[in-house]
Amino acid sequence: MQRPTAADLDSLSDRIPGLGRDAASVRRRVEAMEGLLERMFVIPGINKPIGLDVLLDMIPVVGPAIGAVMGSWLAWEARNLGMSKWQLTRMFGNVGLDLLLGAIPWVGAIPDFFFRSNSRNLKMIRKHLDRHHPSTATIEGGVVGRH
């Protein structure tokens, strides 16, 4: 079987929404991933959103590692956007701290409930996109680009 070429991948990204390399597609992907990892559903009573990242911390060793890989994907997308090495270092630092906190068996979900590395990383990506790709800014709550 032949390996797909860049033209094949470009053709595929044109046919499937959100797979493009443009900044707007990247924004949609990283926002969707952050939502999955940090805000999948709301805990009734305390009205606090949680996502897959907290749930994965309940699985010793493997769960936090899977969460770190998924969180690292946000930093990878940021790298592809051309964000600075300092920003990428901060993003990978957030993921690393999240991994360390989550590595504490069963109890690791508690600090992850409060330290939302993926939300922090998304905030940095949005700031970069709003500054360097203003056409990707979205209107939410009456304010452009602020979430």
DSSP 83: -
Q: Model's pTM, two decimal places? A: 0.79
Q: Which residue range(s) make up the domain with 125? A: 20-135
33 compared with 16, residue with greater pLDDT: 33
Out of 6-15, 24-33, 63-72, 83-92, which region has the weakest mean confidence (pLDDT)?
A: 6-15
Q: Is residue 8 part of a domain?
A: no
* Cβ-based burial of 57 (10 A; exposed 0-12, middle 13-18, buried ≥19): buried
Q: Is residue 114 part of a domain?
A: yes
Question: Could you give the number of structural domains in the chain?
Answer: 1
pLDDT digits (tens, 9 = 90+) for 49-69: 999 999 998 888 899 999 999
Give the three-state DSSP class for 145.
Answer: coil
Q: Is residue 5 part of a domain?
A: no
Q: Tell me the two tokens of residue 66.
A: 């899977």
Q: Is residue 79 part of a domain?
A: yes
Q: Are 55 and 66 in contact (CB under 8 A)?
A: no
pLDDT digits (tens, 9 = 90+) for 34-45: 999 999 999 999
Q: Are 110 and 54 in contact (CB under 8 A)?
A: no
* Cβ-based burial of 46 (10 A; exposed 0-12, middle 13-18, buried ≥19): exposed
Q: Is residue 9 part of a domain?
A: no
Average pLDDT over residues 62-78: 95
